[in-house]
Amino acid sequence: MLQKQQNNYAYIDGANLHKGIFDSGWILDYARFRVWLTEKYGVKNAYIFIGLIPRYKELYKYLQESGFTLIFKEVIYDGDGKPKGNCDADLVLQATSDAYENKFEKAVVVSSDGDYAGLIKFLKERGKLRVILSPHAKDKCSILIKRTDAPITYLNDVRVFIKKEKAPDADKTTQGSFS
């Protein structure tokens, strides 16, 4: 029996995903993550909302080649020169607009940020939420997200499927690098 093709969309807070995985001490293989999103959750379109910093153009190319659609936000720099590209409002607007236009069956939201609690409630009330994928550990995921009573999967718990494999270097030892 053939299973019906799903039309689910993923909305990914790029900075939150990166920070959560980094803080957990492992490296995400974005290509494997994209395949996993499709196979596990029927994700047809996966948007990553990310700040645009020219020196990361190779990362952006890799993400696009891995099957993600990048939605860029212009960054500003704080007093210490640290970039800030707050994408929360853009992600919420895109997901809400897509929901109203009925572009997807269910949404997968990738973030641990409590700022998305309103979006989670909105999607849940309309039967449009599939799952929240939390890049942060259970104790670091926002209480506001947890209080929505939406299903949450912690990426640390499924890292075996999406973790970057360590590659042998020249002397045959393993290393965890982005190359």
Q: Is the pLDDT of residue 177 over 70?
A: no
Domains of the chain: 8-175 (3.40.50.1010)
CB atoms within 10 A of CB 166: 12
Query: ∠10-47-130 over CA atoms, to 5°?
Result: 10
What is the rounded CA–CA span in Å between residue 155 and residue 137? 8
Q: What is the pTM of this model?
A: 0.89
CA atoms within 13 A on the CB side of 31: 8
Helix intervals (H) in the chain:
14-24, 30-41, 57-65, 88-100, 117-125, 143-146, 159-162
pLDDT at 77: 87
pLDDT at 76: 86
What is the rounded CA–CA span in Å between residue 123 and residue 117? 10
Could you give the C-alpha distances from 142 to 49, 94, 113, 121, 132, in angstroms and in order?
A: 19, 22, 6, 14, 12
What is the rounded CA–CA span in Å between residue 119 and residue 168? 42
Q: Is the pLDDT of residue 173 over 90?
A: no
94: its two tokens? 């895109």
128: its two tokens? 């449009």
pLDDT at 168: 53
What is the rounded CA–CA span in Å between residue 75 and residue 86? 8
pLDDT at 108: 98
pLDDT band for 123, please (50, 70, 90 cuts).
very high
Find the helix or strand (DSSP H, E) in which 109 lies. strand 107-110
Q: Lowest mean pLDDT: which of 58-62, 105-109, 144-148, 171-175?
A: 171-175
The pLDDT tens digits of the residues spanning 72-122 come to 998 888 888 888 878 999 999 999 999 999 999 999 999 999 999 999 999
Q: Is the pLDDT of residue 179 over 50?
A: no
Q: Tell me what the mean pLDDT of segment 7-25 comes to.
A: 96
Average pLDDT, the chain: 90
pLDDT at 5: 75
Burial track 95-117 (b if 16+ CB lie within 10 A, e otherwise): bbebbeeeebebbbbbbbbbbbb
Per-residue H/E/C for 35-46: HHHHHHHCEEEE
Q: Is the pLDDT of residue 160 over 80?
A: yes
Q: 122 or 167: which carries more pLDDT confidence?
A: 122
